[in-house]
Amino acid sequence: MLFAARSQNALHRLLDTLPVFEGDARVRRYFTLVPGSEFSLDALTAIERAGGRTLPWPEARDRSFALVLAASPKGDLHALHGPRALLPHGAGFNKSLPGEGTADSASGLDPAHLLLPDGAPLATRYLFSHPSQISRLARVSPEAAARSTVVGDPLLERFLESRARRDRYRAALRTGSRTLVVLFSTWGPESLIGRRPGLPADLAAALPHDEYQLALVLHPNERVRRGALDLEEYLAPARRAGLILPGGYEEWASVALAADVLITDHGSAALYPAALDRPLLGAYDGGVELLPGSPMADLLDRVPRFDGDPRRIPAALSAHRPGGIRALTESVFAERGHALDRLREAVYDLLGLAPPAHPVVPRLLPDPAPAPHTPAAFAVRVELDELGEHDEHDEHGEHDERPPIRVLRHPAHLPLPAPAHHLAAEVGSAHHRYTQSAALLYRRAGEHPGAPAEPADLWTARILGDHPGGRRTAAVVVSAAHCLVRTRSGPLLSVRIAPQRQDRRTAPVDPVPVLSAVHAVLVARPGTDHTTLTCAVGPHTAEVRLTPATPEEAATPV
């Protein structure tokens, strides 16, 4: 059989059908690239990366196949010999592209693409994800509708099968308890990044690093249009702040499953997390591409609007009602949990073969890769509010509860949403311009095995000597629960961090923002060497104890 792909996106749709033929030695799988698309540039590379055997287009055109499976009706698909089965190019049939096919017709339901010039159907079988799509097709092409079958959506099956792995995906992304915000951008001038090119960097600057994690899911066509180098250069400010840019096949779906909230334009990819009831914000700014009454149009009409204000994000999470988003996708996906079974029945009928006896199982989505960059310098806002200190007991013998010191960190290389209390920079990782002006200079002990080490007592003193002027603090992160700090005029102090329990679990706290709270206290109250603080970092709080460092602690190698 032949998988005929016209672009990367079409290829990805075809790859999701592979489990249907799994284990069947009667089926030999070949791939070919249907010429004519400006987005076909990387499709052959993607086929080779998947391990598929490729046939040059002239050879594929000259051979006959037991089945030709495609996910786009465009191009010279009619030149291929054999029964042709056509899958949707995406979900929902929401867009009409100006200058292509029939005006105001969904490109995947357009008779101009689905029929041959003589009016005969292009495909032997048209495969759809929901009966409503066949009804829409019947209004414009009864001939094609008569050859249509509902099989469901193979990609949705992967989403459904992988739901239980959400915590695993978040762990792979190193999300922790942060809110994962995922931007969804289709391709073209009306896309999210086409209309709002600065949004990834704007959100990376505005959202506190310890409260939010940011990802961008980009349509494969946009990747091809920009090219890998230009794309990375365009996104570099946001990427250095920790933006995740998942791969265009499989990995993006894992990130979507891990998301807490999604911000989307009119691209159909958002329908998949919507089918799993993930909270959504609409960010389509209008135009001519989105068809009124289509599933995405209805979805965008019902979800909150995102105008660029980051405060819309927590509001959307608070307003989300379970089941409401999922209900809006009922007209898109039928045969949930059975799509691969229905697809197998349809394609094996065309092959004229009995399907394999073993059940067909969707392939789990892969673990996503974490962000390749983490900021090494932060502009830090510290909400002191009486320093968050407390004595063990007040004069009445009761525990003194004061508001915690709240620490909010933002990447130092991006515009700040509010004035910062100080700059914190990691020695050996941050750029020189940041270490020269940082008030908090820190390093993680043991981060460079094999490198010459020196005692923490000497290292902190040397670092302060190397950076004269200002009220600086040098710090060593020994572990997640223990740090050592020194100011220019004070002794080496030991910092012990005890995370407070949340939801019956002890939630870990990043020690580096805790050090910013300690620095703020030491600056506000010089000479402090015994105190207990309550520090709030993102959604977590921790009790922090400062005491003079012991000789053993002072000798910790750095």
- Does 209 fall in a domain? yes
Q: Which residue has the tokens 């993607």?
A: 46
**Same domain, yes or no: 401 and 346:** no
The average confidence (pLDDT) of the chain is 92
H helix or E strand, kind and range, residue 406 = strand 405-411
Residue 370 is assigned to a structural domain of this protein: no
Residue that the structure tokens 């073969």 belong to: 353
Percent of the chain with pLDDT over 90: 78
Residues 543 and 462 placed together within one structural domain of the fold: yes
Establish if 313 belongs to a structural domain: yes
Question: Where would I find the beta strands (DSSP E) of 34-177?
Answer: 53-54, 68-70, 84-86, 125-128, 148-150
pLDDT above 80 for 388: no
Give the pLDDT confidence score for residue 51 in this predicted structure.
85
Residue 91 DSSP code: S
> Is residue 57 domain-resident?
yes
Core vs surface per residue 483-499: b (16+ CB within 10 A) or e:
bbbbbbeeebbbbebeb
> Residue 386 pLDDT more than 70?
no
Structural domain contains residue 360: no
Averaged over 461-476, what is the pLDDT? 95
Write phi, then psi, for 556 (nearest 5 degrees): -55, 125
3-state secondary structure 345-370: HHHHHHHCCCCCCCCCCCCCCCCCCC
Please choose, from the candidates 83, 79, 148, the residue with its C-alpha nearest in 3D space to the C-alpha of residue 109. 148
199 and 123 inside one domain:
no
Helices (runs of H) and strands (runs of E) counted in the chain: 22, 22
Please state, in angstroms and rounded to a whole number, the distance separating the CA atoms of residues 314 and 227: 34
**Structure-token match 């996503």, residue found:** 368
Q: How many domains does the chain have?
A: 3
**Which residue, chain included where needed, has tokens 């977590």?**
540
Token pair recorded at residue 240: 């250095």
Residue 415 maps to a domain = yes
Of the listed ranges 42-56, 131-145, 219-233, the one predicted with least confidence: 42-56
| 150 & 179 share domain | no
Q: Are residues 61 and 185 in the same domain?
A: no
Q: State the pLDDT confidence band at 394, using cuts at 50, 70 and 90.
A: very low
pLDDT at 438 over 80: yes
H-helix or E-strand containing 415?
A: none
> Domain with 172 in it: what CATH number?
3.40.50.2000
Which range is least confidently modeled, 42-46, 130-134, 385-389? 385-389
- Could you tell me if 110 and 122 are in contact, meaning their C-beta atoms sit under 8 angstroms apart? no
Is the same domain home to 181 and 295? Answer: yes
Question: Do 106 and 150 fall within a single domain?
Answer: yes
Residue 367 lies in a domain: no
Residue 19 maps to which CATH number? 3.40.50
What pLDDT score does 79 carry? 96
Say whether both 132 and 179 belong to one domain: no
Band of residue 278 on the pLDDT scale cut at 50, 70, 90: very high
Q: Give the residue carrying structure tokens 């009966």.
A: 131
CA neighbor of 149 nearest in space, from 135, 169, 132, 128: 128
**What does the CA dihedral 78, 80, 86, 88 come to, rounded to 10 degrees?**
-80
Q: Quick one: which of 211, 232, 205 has its CA closest to 414?
A: 205
Q: Are strands 53-54 and 30-33 parallel, antiparallel or unpaired?
A: parallel
Return the exposure string of 523-536: e unless at least 16 CB atoms fall within 10 Å of the residue's CB, then b: beeeebeebbbbbb
Alpha helices (H) along 209-338 = 220-226, 228-240, 251-258, 271-275, 295-302, 312-319, 324-327
Average pLDDT over residues 450-460: 90
Is 383 found in the same domain as 343?
no
| Nearest Cα to Cα of residue 219 among 262, 268, 256, 263 | 268
State whether residue 517 is helix, strand or coil: helix
Is it the case that residue 169 has pLDDT exceeding 60? yes
Residue 48 has pLDDT above 50, yes or no: yes
What pLDDT, in 10s, does the model give residues 505-545?
Answer: 556 789 999 999 999 999 999 988 899 999 999 999 999 99
- pLDDT band at residue 554 under the 50/70/90 scheme: very high
Of residues 112 and 483, more confidently modeled = 483
pLDDT tens-digit map of 66-117: 999 999 998 899 999 999 999 998 898 888 887 776 767 787 888 888 999 8
Whether residue 33 contacts residue 57, with contact meaning beta carbons closer than 8 Å, is answered with: yes
Q: Are residues 148 and 230 in the same domain?
A: no
Same domain, 302 and 412: no
Assigned domain for 369 exists? no
The whole-number pLDDT of residue 401 equals 59
Both structure tokens of 385: 């509010």
* Model confidence at 387: pLDDT above 70: no
Pairing status of strand 422-426 against strand 377-383: antiparallel
Q: What is the pLDDT of residue 322?
A: 87
**Boundary residue ending a domain (295, 327, 359):** 327
List residues bridging with 498 in a β-sheet.
543
| pLDDT (0 to 100) of residue 392 | 44
Tokens encoding 18: 């592979």
Of 415, 423, 419, 401, the closest CA to residue 523 belongs to 423
pLDDT at 45: 80
Domain boundaries, position 181: 166-327
* Burial zone of 194 (CB within 10 Å; 0-12 exposed, 13-18 middle, 19+ buried): middle
Q: What is the pLDDT of residue 393?
A: 41
pLDDT in tens, 51-66: 889 999 999 999 999 9
Q: Which residues pair with 382 in a beta bridge?
A: 407
What does pTM read for this prediction?
Answer: 0.93
Are 323 and 340 found together in one domain? no
Q: What percentage of the chain carries pLDDT values higher than 70?
A: 95
